[in-house]
């Protein structure tokens, strides 16, 4: 039995090469980088953000002694400081700005998801034309992702909330047992987010091209993908496992390239900022210097983010082509892939020559 997720790798490499290299077009690369910037980059291969903790368990124990009461006191003091006027107004404004920004980026990214698929399927990148054509479907995808996010949060709450309530109520034993319960609940929540989010994300990603060709509603397309899963669940199960492995490999490659880009770009931007600062320091006051530098720093931050999207773009293109190549074999869908006709002609020519 042939596994489609494995067969799709060679096809995805071939299509990525034809899209990005044969021939090389810098304008095309830049437009694809813009699309990836809004789509989310590593998010296209089920990547995610990483967090860190600067302290140690020993330091934590000296502060709160693993006791819920100590943690509650710390959180209570923090809450009093944050809710005092005018701090709460400033924080509320900042949070509102962040939420609005996330929603706007999520809305644009949902439309760009269709722009990305259409660009790769046809090997013809047209941002404005495709964007205007898929606004309606993008809105549907935006709300579908919000629903998925709410469902994942509810799943995590079901896992974490009982342990949290047990510790807060004081019924749980303090000490090492409390920390073990917290760690286990966090691990379970992370596993739920990774596994459930990855599976749901795969179904939603496949529903995008299914809704585009020949043209149907996104929610009905998602239902059709689930029906196909019921008919051929083995291929989809192996696909999810294979995508997880490919996602890890892709994340490693992107991380290495991003680190190189951060070092090179960081040195260049830092040198520019230092030269500008000391140059402006001669003619301007400290306040005026920062009034000039802050817009420059914001522009540099945007350039930095776009550079990261540009670096990750080839890997993101490969991962999307891999999904499309798998879908081509797994789901009865007539996608107008740019190389389908040429491959058919090549096979016919080969048979005639034989």
- Condensed to tens digits (0 to 9), the pLDDT of residues 262-274 reads 899 889 988 988 8
Confidence of residue 46 (pLDDT cuts 50, 70, 90): very low
242, pLDDT greater than 70: yes
- Say what the pLDDT of residue 195 is: 83
- Say what the pLDDT of residue 54 is: 36
- Say what the pLDDT of residue 55 is: 37
Residue 312 has a CB neighbour count (10 Å cut-off) of 29
93, pLDDT greater than 90: no
What are the phi and psi torsion angles at 110 (to 5°)?
-65, -40
- Say what the pLDDT of residue 229 is: 93
CA 226, 231, 235, 237 torsion-angle sign: positive
Give the integer Cα–Cα distance in Å for 210 and 113: 13
Give the integer Cα–Cα distance in Å for 327 and 173: 51
Residue 194 in tokens = 């990774």
Task: Judge whether 340 and 325 are in contact, CB under 8 Å.
Answer: no
Please give the share of the chain, as a percent, with pLDDT higher than 70: 78
Give the integer Cα–Cα distance in Å for 304 and 310: 10
Residues 6+ apart with CB under 8 A from 114: 130, 133, 134, 137, 138, 141, 208, 212
Residue whose C-alpha is closest to residue 219's, from 230, 210, 229: 210
158, pLDDT greater than 90: no
Q: Which carries the bigger pLDDT value, residue 250 or residue 71?
A: 250
Per-residue exposure over 328-340, b if at least 16 CB sit within 10 Å of its own CB, e if not:
bebbebebebeee
Give the integer Cα–Cα distance in Å for 338 and 117: 12
297, pLDDT greater than 60: yes
Give the integer Cα–Cα distance in Å for 70 and 241: 42
299, pLDDT greater than 80: yes
15: exposed, middle or buried (C-beta count within 10 Å: 0-12, 13-18, 19+)?
Answer: buried
Residues 6+ apart with CB under 8 A from 228: 236, 330, 331, 332
H-helix or E-strand spanning residue 129? helix 127-133
345, pLDDT greater than 80: no
81, pLDDT greater than 60: no
Confidence of residue 131 (pLDDT cuts 50, 70, 90): very high
59, pLDDT greater than 90: no
Give the integer Cα–Cα distance in Å for 249 and 255: 10
Task: Judge whether 138 and 215 are in contact, CB under 8 Å.
Answer: no
């Amino acid at each position: 039995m042939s596994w489609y997720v494995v067969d799709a790798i060679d096809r995805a490499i071939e299509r990525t090469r034809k899209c990005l290299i044969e021939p090389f077009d810098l304008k095309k690369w830049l437009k694809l980088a813009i699309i990836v910037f809004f789509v989310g980059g590593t998010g296209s291969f089920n990547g995610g953000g990483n967090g860190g903790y600067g302290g140690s368990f020993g330091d934590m124990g000296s502060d709160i002694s693993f006791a819920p009461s100590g943690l509650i006191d710390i959180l209570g003091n923090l809450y009093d400081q944050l809710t005092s006027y005018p701090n709460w107004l400033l924080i509320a404004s900042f949070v509102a700005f962040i939420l609005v920004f996330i929603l706007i980026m999520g809305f644009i990214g949902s439309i760009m998801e269709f722009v990305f698929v259409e660009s790769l399927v046809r090997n013809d990148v047209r941002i404005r034309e495709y964007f205007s054509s898929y606004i309606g479907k993008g809105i549907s995808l935006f709300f579908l992702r919000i629903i998925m996010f709410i469902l994942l949060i509810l799943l995590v709450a079901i896992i974490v909330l009982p342990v949290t309530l047990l510790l807060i109520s004081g019924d749980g034993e303090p000490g090492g047992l409390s920390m073990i319960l917290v760690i286990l609940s966090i691990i379970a929540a992370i596993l739920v987010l990774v596994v459930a989010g990855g599976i749901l994300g795969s179904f939603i990603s496949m529903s995008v091209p299914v809704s585009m060709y020949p043209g149907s509603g996104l929610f009905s397309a998602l239902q059709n993908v689930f029906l196909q899963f019921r008919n051929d669940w083995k291929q989809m199960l192996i696909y999810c496992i294979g995508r997880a492995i490919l996602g890890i490999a892709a994340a490693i490659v992107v991380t290495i390239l991003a680190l190189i880009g951060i070092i090179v770009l960081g040195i260049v931007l830092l040198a520019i900022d230092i030269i500008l600062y000391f140059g402006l320091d001669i003619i301007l006051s400290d306040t005026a210097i920062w009034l000039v530098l802050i817009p420059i720093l914001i522009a540099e931050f945007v350039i930095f983010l776009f550079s990261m999207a540009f670096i990750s773009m080839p890997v993101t293109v490969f991962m999307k082509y891999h999904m499309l190549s798998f879908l081509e074999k797994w789901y009865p869908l007539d996608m107008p892939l740019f190389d389908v006709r040429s491959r058919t002609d090549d096979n016919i020519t080969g048979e005639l020559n034989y």
